[in-house]
Amino acid sequence: MSSATTAPAQAGANKNLHGPGSTIHVQTRNERPASFNLSDFEPVTGREVDWKLTPVAALADLLDATIDGAELTIDSTSNGSASVSWVSMSNDAVGLAGVPEDRASSIAWSSTENALLIDVSADDVSEVSVNRSGLGLAPRAAHTVIRVAPFAKTTVVLTSEGQASLSENVEIIAGESSQVTVISLQEWASDSRHLATHFIRADKNASVTHTVVSLSGAIVRVNPQTRLAGEGSSVNMLGLYFADSGEHLEQQVFVNHEAAQTKSRVNYKGALQGQGARTVWIGDVLIGPHAVGTDSYEQNRNLVLTEGTRADSIPNLEIKTGDIAGAGHASATGRFDDEQLFYLQARGIDEATARQLVVRGFLNEIVQQIPVASIAQRIELALDRELEGIA
């Protein structure tokens, strides 16, 4: 694929592999302020490293002061013995996975009255789904905690639709040897705005799969960060986004390899179509001084379907120990490949169908890894709808 982005995107393909012992410093991610106190965060100007690619002017009401933090109306289902309940923000389940690192997250944290706690007890196997819809366009704050006890196995699907101006934090605590799958699907109305931070903490030998799917909304910024806190823990962070005209879809992904023998994979894929379609992917990986034996790879690929779009793709890798198994990253943003279209058309396939095949094929790598069939299907249908317009 050829390059088709404007600066500062990573034009074309770039692939870097860092073998054991190499050290590169791109950015010192862990020196960012982290605090539960809103007063510790300066007002957002849009010049900050974590806000400079975000349309902050259109987010002023979510970045200024505390907002409505009343309980959201949600629909939830649960099988297995997982419990879903509202608890006070002073509950000891809150604050286990992370500390706010930006002003939006801090405002949401201090505004929220009660947190939604999804509690999975030890050795339990369960599936939980939570849907938020019809929240309205007035600013709202929310907090969700997914706490999975040791040796449990759980899948949590968080879906969002309709109108919203939502700023939220999601904490995911994966206890020792637990297997946790979380899917966050954003299919908001076209005038919705959504700022989210997902804090993931993986304890010893825990295995987490975290997927962010953003299909629509005016501004959707979902920043998942994982602390591989326990030895032998692993995370697979997946993302899929499809930005149409006028949509800003952003994700800042952070993996912090704190403990030894930890493994991370990050794979985000996005498509852009239409005037002003905008995506941002920033992928930070920090391999800490104790994280010997780390195995890490992150990649982001964007497919540009029309003129007038912009995709930023910025991978950062910081290694503070010499003894790792491997770390690498790849980033590519490319146009539709006309040779692929020609090949398919030369087999009788019309142009519109050929384009759909190519785009769906490109995104398939992520869709195929979504373990909940109904969600995979929902994504495929949404993609079909998006792609009807591109011929």
Partner 1 sequence: MAVLEIRDLHVSVETDQGTRQILRGVDLTICSGETHAIMGPNGSGKSTLAYTIAGHPRYTVDSGSITLDGADVLEMSVDERAKAGLFLAMQYPVEIPGVTVSNFLRTAKTAIEGTAPALRQWVGDVKTAMTNLKMDSSFTERNVNEGFSGGEKKRHEILQLELLKPQIAVLDETDSGLDVDALKIVSEGVNRAKENTGLGVLLITHYTRILRYIKPDFVHVFVAGKVAEQGGPELADRLEAEGYDRYVEATA
Contact letters for partner 1, residues 351-380 (x by CB under 8 A): x-xx--xx-xxxxxx---------------
Shortest approach of partner 1 to residue 361 CB, angstroms?
Answer: 3
Candidates 79-87, 194-202, 309-317, 343-351: pick the segment binding partner 1 (CB under 8 A): 343-351
Its sign, for the CA torsion 342, 344, 348, 353, is: negative
Residue closer to partner 1 (CB basis): 177 or 299: 299
Site string for partner 1, 301-340 (x = CB under 8 A): ------------------------------------xxxx
Decide if residue 347 touches partner 1 (CB under 8 A). yes
What gap in Å lies between CA 132 and CA 111, rounded to an integer? 18
64 in contact with partner 1 (CB under 8 A): no
Task: Give the count of beta carbons closer than 10 Å to the beta carbon of residue 280.
Answer: 22
Kindly determine how many residues on this chain lie close enough to bind partner 1 according to the rule CB under 8 A: 24
Say how many C-beta atoms besides its own lie within 10 A of residue 172's C-beta.
25
By the 10 Å C-beta count (0-12 exposed, 13-18 middle, 19+ buried), 12 is classed as middle
Amino acid letter for position 167? S
Residue 125-144 contact track with partner 1, rule CB under 8 A, x = bound = --------------------
Return the SS3 of 361. helix
Rounded Cα gap, residues 289 and 5, in angstroms: 35
Which x/- pattern over 162-191 shows residues binding partner 1 (rule: CB under 8 A)?
------------------------------
Task: Pick the closer one to partner 1 by CB: 317 or 358.
Answer: 358
CB of 307 to partner 1, least distance (A): 18
Query: If phi over 0 gives left and psi between -120 and 50 gives alpha, with beta otherwise, what is residue 177?
Result: left
Beta strand 125-133 with 83-88: parallel, antiparallel or unpaired?
Answer: unpaired
| Nearest to 201, CA basis, from 221, 173, 225 | 173
Name the DSSP class of 324. Answer: -
Shortest Å distance, C-beta 271 to partner 1: 12
Q: Which residues contact 162 (CB under 8 A, 6 or more apart)?
A: 133, 134, 135, 188, 189, 192
- As measured in angstroms, the least distance from the Cβ of 339 to partner 1 is 5
C-alpha torsion 42→46→52→54, nearest 10: 110
Query: Considering beta carbons, is residue 9 or 354 the nearer one to partner 1?
Result: 354
> Residue 295 Cβ, how far from partner 1 at the closest point, in Å?
23
- In the complex, what is the shortest distance from the CB of residue 371 to partner 1, in angstroms, rounded to a whole number? 18
Nearest approach, Cβ of residue 84 and partner 1 (Å): 36
Going 44 to 112 to 252 to 247, the CA torsion angle's sign is negative
Q: By CB under 8 A, is residue 71 in contact with partner 1?
A: no
Q: Does 342 bind partner 1 (CB under 8 A)?
A: yes
Report the nearest approach of partner 1 to the CB of residue 353 (Å).
7
Nearer to partner 1, 128 or 367 (CB): 367
* Residue closer to partner 1 (CB basis): 8 or 361: 361
Q: At its nearest, how many Å lie between partner 1 and the CB of residue 274?
A: 22
Cα separation, 382 vs 384, in Å, equals 5
Residues found near partner 1 in the complex (CB under 8 A): 337-340, 342-351, 353-354, 357-358, 360-365
